[in-house]
Amino acid sequence: MAWDDIPDWSSTVADALLQTVKMKDPFTFYHCCRVGRAARRLAQAAGLNEYDQHRLEFSGLFHDVGKVGIPDNILLKPGSLTSQEFETMKSHALKSAEIIEPLNHIAFFKSLLPGIRSHHERIDGRGYPYNLEGDKIPLTARIITIVDTVDAMMHTRPYRKGLSFDIVKQELQEFSGSQFDAQLVKIYLDAIRFWKADQEADKEEMVIGQILKKSA
């Protein structure tokens, strides 16, 4: 498949869905924007073609939209979740896929679903929702897992201060091969230094239509 297989109205769909997320939880909105951008960068660094890079960007943008279906007292809780609350929170991956599924008659949107559903799977099989392991986890999901985790760790929440990149790097290295795809971690850490200028230019007020605009 090629870039021309992505419907012209895809960015409009992304904008509409993410504005709904923004009304529910601005943090999740900005997180999805950053993860979409970072997933595309990592896909490029991993040697994926332009179509797959855009597929990773959309998958990253949509990976947490299911959080609109999580009750506010859980999603916005300023403290640790109980085990029961955590089980509810874990449902967001499948909820995100369910929101996109009405578009699965469009090949491009159907191709996003594996990465969205499985972005909390772990290489060692201890993730969710399907306990997949190793190469059974879709490549798109393995890419999103890394950039999603990095972004979550580095940004401050009411219950936890954001971590420095040095600490995040240690976490990636420590859990490489268990939580994260080891080869993708290496690619990420080798490539991240080249992204810093672009990351400085990224603004929290970024417009989804600008993120997803076609290359000239």
| pLDDT per position as a tens digit, 156-203 | 777 778 889 899 999 999 999 999 999 999 999 999 988 765 555 554
Catalytic one of 22, 24, 67, 169: 67
- What's residue 215's pLDDT? 35
Distance CA 8, CA 116 (A): 21
- What's residue 194's pLDDT? 81
**124 Cβ partners below 8 Å, 6+ apart?**
133, 178, 179
For every residue of 25-48, DSSP letters joined together read: -HHHHHHHHHHHHHHHHHHHHTT-
- What's residue 198's pLDDT? 56
Q: What angle do CA 124, 48, 62 make, to 5 degrees?
A: 70
Mind listing the pLDDT tens digit of every residue in the chain (216 residues)? 555 678 989 999 999 999 999 999 999 999 999 999 999 999 999 999 999 999 999 999 999 999 999 999 999 998 889 999 999 999 999 999 999 999 999 999 999 999 999 999 999 999 999 999 999 999 999 999 999 999 999 987 777 788 898 999 999 999 999 999 999 999 999 999 887 655 555 544 444 544 544 433
- For the entire predicted model, the pTM comes to 0.90
- What's residue 157's pLDDT? 77
Q: Is-catalytic flag, 196?
A: no
- What's residue 193's pLDDT? 83
Whole-Å CA distances, 33 to 27, 83, 107, 108, 203: 10, 28, 23, 19, 10
Annotated domain spans of the chain: 8-211
**Regarding the domain delimited by 8-211, which CATH topology (the fold level of the hierarchy) does it fall under?**
Hypothetical protein af1432 (1.10.3210)
